[in-house]
Amino acid sequence: MIYATVGTMHLEFSRLIYRMDAIAEKTDEQIIVQTGLGLVTPDHCEHFDFDSRERVLELQRSARVIVCHAGIGSVIDALEAGRPLVVIPRLKRFNEHNNDHQVDLAEAVERRGWGRMIRAIEELEPACAEPPPAYEGYKPARQPLVTALRGAIEQATSKGQ
């Protein structure tokens, strides 16, 4: 099963949805697309706009490949699912986002060996057919930031007492 997700952004990501639909037309493999706030939906595969976090995480864990926009929540969830990951950044020139910062995150994903970045939409079908290997043992180092934030909160709330 291929699971594709566009996140919670208020702008359309029809480029990804149409391409997943085209892939679905050609393959027997199940494809499930999360379509978000946009109005565009695929005709040849299962889709839903939003679902519970539990169901979404379950879909990610059972996917052969995860295809996601390069949003922070989607990428972290996908990495934690530990499945082969294909990341496609939303681009400003297609009005998919208000700037091109998703390219930076997608490049970081590739640099870290976490997954593959799609630079042109034609790359999506071969990338789904032969995805990069899953990144094993993803272990984000969150504690230093949590500790620093806690310290900053304590400092901020103790002033004037």
Per-residue interface string for the shown chain with another protein, residues 105-144, x marking contact by CB under 8 A:
x-xx---x-------------------------xxxxxxx
User: Where on the phi/psi map is residue 55: left (φ > 0), alpha (ψ -120 to 50), or beta?
Assistant: alpha
CB-wise, 126 or 151, nearer to another protein?
151
Q: How far is the CB of 1 from another protein (least distance, A)?
A: 23
State which of residues 1, 57, 129, 149 lies at the interface with another protein (CB under 8 A): 149
Stretch that binds another protein, among 2-10, 22-30, 58-66, 115-123 (CB under 8 A): 2-10
Radius of gyration of the chain (CA): 17
Distances (CA, A) of 161 to 32, 95, 154, 156: 54, 49, 12, 11
Beta bridge partners of 68: 5, 87
CB-wise, 26 or 53, nearer to another protein?
53
Dig out the tokens for 37 from the structure: 């706030």
94 binds another protein (CB under 8 A): no
In one-letter notation, the amino acid at residue 87 is V
CB-wise, 70 or 127, nearer to another protein?
70
Q: How far is the CB of 20 from another protein (least distance, A)?
A: 20
Q: Is 153 helix (H, G, I), strand (E, B) or coil?
A: helix
Query: What is the 3-state secondary structure of 46-91?
Result: EEECCCCHHHHHHHHHHCCEEEEECCHHHHHHHHHHCCCEEEECCC
**Interface ranges with another protein (CB under 8 A):** 7-10, 37, 50, 53, 70-77, 79, 98-99, 101-102, 104-105, 107-108, 112, 138-150, 152-153, 156-157, 159
